[in-house]
C-alpha cells in the first residue's frame, strides 16, 4: 500500500504538473510533495496557479507540518524540502544540489528513508539531472519509480538521466501518468 507521492520537475514542469494534478480528485488518498525548480520569488504565484487547476489543496509546507491526504505540498523557493522519519516536513537552506534549491534529489532521498516501499517517486520534464540520484534511492528503499517518457517531455534531459541511472517501474507519456497514479492509489500495488 502506498502512503505518499513525490514529484520532481524543472523546465516545462509547470505544464506537466498542472496537467497531472487537474486529473486527480479531491479524494486522492496520497499526500503529494513536489519540487519544481523556479526562482525564490515566484513561489506564491505557483501555489495560486496550481490551486486554480486542481480539486486538491496546494500549499507551501512549513517545518514540522505533517503530510496529509488531499494536499499538494510545493517546496518553497530558496529552500530544500525534506521529509523526516516522522513523516513531517523540514526546510533547509543548505547549498544547492545539481545547481538547484530546492533540489529534487534532496526531497526524494529523504522521502525514501521515511516511506521506503510505501513511496511513489515521479520524475518529469527538466533540463538537468536532478532527481536521478533521488529516484535511485527510492528504488533502493523498495519504492515505486515512474519516469515521464522523454519523448513526451518538453525537456528530455531529466527523464533521460533518471532512466540511465535507475530502472523505472513505469515510463509513460505525460497524458497517461495521472491514470496510473489513480490506479496505484486505489489498488495499493
Exactly one of 10, 103, 110, 152 is catalytic; which is it? Answer: 10
Q: Which residues have C-beta within 8 Å of that of residue 187, sequence separation ≥ 6? A: none
Active site (annotated) includes residue 10: yes
Active site (annotated) includes residue 37: yes
Active site (annotated) includes residue 130: yes
Exactly one of 130, 132, 149, 152 is catalytic; which is it? Answer: 130
Q: Which residues are catalytic?
A: 10, 37, 130
Amino acid at each position: 500500500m502506498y502512503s505518499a507521492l513525490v514529484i520532481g520537475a524543472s523546465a516545462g514542469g509547470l505544464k506537466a504538473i498542472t496537467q497531472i494534478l487537474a486529473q486527480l480528485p479531491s479524494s486522492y488518498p496520497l499526500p503529494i510533495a513536489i519540487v519544481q525548480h523556479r526562482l525564490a520569488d515566484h513561489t506564491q504565484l505557483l501555489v495560486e496557479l496550481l490551486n486554480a487547476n486542481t480539486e486538491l489543496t496546494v500549499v507551501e509546507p512549513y517545518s514540522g507540518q505533517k503530510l496529509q491526504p488531499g494536499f499538494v505540498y510545493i517546496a518553497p523557493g530558496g529552500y530544500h524540502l525534506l521529509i523526516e522519519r516522522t513523516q513531517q516536513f523540514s526546510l533547509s537552506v543548505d547549498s544547492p544540489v545539481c545547481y538547484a534549491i530546492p533540489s529534487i534529489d534532496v526531497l526524494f532521498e529523504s522521502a525514501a528513508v521515511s516511506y521506503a516501499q510505501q513511496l511513489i517517486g515521479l520524475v518529469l520534464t527538466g533540463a538537468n539531472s536532478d532527481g536521478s540520484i533521488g529516484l535511485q534511492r527510492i528504488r533502493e528503499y523498495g519504492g515505486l519509480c515512474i519516469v515521464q517518457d522523454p519523448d513526451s517531455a518538453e525537456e528530455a534531459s531529466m527523464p533521460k538521466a533518471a532512466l540511465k541511472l535507475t530502472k523505472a517501474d513505469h515510463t509513460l507519456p505525460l497524458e497517461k501518468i495521472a491514470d496510473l497514479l489513480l490506479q496505484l492509489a486505489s489498488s495499493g500495488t
